[in-house]
Amino acid sequence: MTKNCLIILKNKKLFNLSPDHDIISQFGGEGVYFSTVFAVAYDDSEEIASAFKSSVNYVNTVIYFPESMDGAVRKYAEELYSGQFDEVGVLRSQNNNVFLLHDSGNNKLTVTDAVNLINEALGVSYGKSYIKTVGAPPSDINEALAQAKTLCPDCDFNVSETFGDCKIEIVYPSTLSKSLFDNILRGLVAKLDNYIYALEDISLAQRLYQLLKLRRMKISVAESFTGGGIAKRLVEVSGISEVYIEGLNTYANQSKMSRLGVKEMTLDKFGAVSEETAYEMAEGLLSTGMCDVAVATTGIAGPKSDQTNKPVGLVYISVGTSDGIKVYKYELNGGRENITERSINSALFLAYKTIK
């Protein structure tokens, strides 16, 4: 018999009947994957009957449906599988295990509980490992995962990305040898090394905090278009006061001049959004003598450009230490939120890479 299947009963008038990614990702995050997904309109009795009858060929079946259908689903499944559901919604027959989950989330049976029972039925357990990256091209990630899959077909990979900050979750059988897993991990790291900031499930700001503390360094931030977003990420980290000096939101040119010492001539000649201004913003933070690492941002998040007609998405991020100041130029696409959030992630990552 095949391992696992998922039956989704949905309102076809309100939803696209493609697989429900939320419930699939919940199980995937716990290391359980479905060989087949049936997404069926809940008022199509013939399709429902076909999906249920096909599910008898699977060891484990998860049924995800509206709570209002609970009675009807239980009755039909109990007759089909020749068994009875317990109080939390689990039916175990001679050849099948069936799990009921309401799409409202109002369940006595949790996804974790279902996963444990599914793995118990299959006689397997799984381990997890993580790789966290910023700015890795999707093509590089896909190529790296394809190579890893050839080494271990039983491994699965969950990839989630938020504004360039990517989490790669590696789910592997607990029986996998350490040497084989180490080879898989080495291959992934070698391919993605320039973009990696952690080999654990930790936030970018937390990782930067850990490194600053390890290096006994303190950081200051000056932001323009990111509007304090970098500072917000940092102060969300417990213990950040040990390494964080200040965050300035120097939005206006007058603020850049008075707070950071950016020269009026620089702003007149090159503009606020320029490599030169970004450099002087970081230079101003370092000149206080209070910080070891300075991060500054200036850019155009849109939706409209400034008076200089520079393109929306043009971003400069500077990172400075006692070894010098480097300025990084980006040309980003998308709306205001995308440009801003990607720049925040890039700035935190560049600070991490600079002191690594």
**Phi (first) and psi of residue 300, to 5 degrees:** -120, 110
CA distance 28 to 82: 29
CA distance 115 to 131: 23
Is a pLDDT exceeding 80 seen at residue 276?
A: yes
CA distance 169 to 161: 11
Which residues of the chain are in CATH 3.40.980 domains?
2-122
CA distance 259 to 7: 60
Is a pLDDT exceeding 90 seen at residue 92?
A: yes
Q: What is the pLDDT of residue 14?
A: 58
Contact 1, 95 (CB under 8 A): yes
Is a pLDDT exceeding 70 seen at residue 168?
A: yes
Looking at CATH, the fold of the domain delimited by 126-198 is given as Alpha-Beta Plaits (3.30.70)
Query: Which CATH class for the 2-122 domain?
Result: alpha beta
Which residues of the chain are in CATH 3.90.950.20 domains?
204-355
Q: Would you place residue 16 in the very low, low, confident or very high pLDDT band (cuts 50, 70, 90)?
A: low
Contacts of 319 (CB under 8 A, 6+ apart): 282, 293, 294, 295, 325, 326, 328, 347, 350, 351, 354
Of the listed ranges 115-119, 195-199, 202-206, the one predicted with least confidence: 115-119
Percent of the chain clearing pLDDT 70 (strictly above)? 97
pTM score, whole prediction:
0.76
Q: What is the pLDDT of residue 13?
A: 58
Please, what is the average pLDDT of the chain? 93
DSSP letters for 265-299: HHHHHH-SSSHHHHHHHHHHHHHTSS-SEEEEEEE
Looking at CATH, the fold of the domain delimited by 204-355 is given as Maf protein (3.90.950)
Q: Which helix (H) or strand (E) holds 31?
A: none
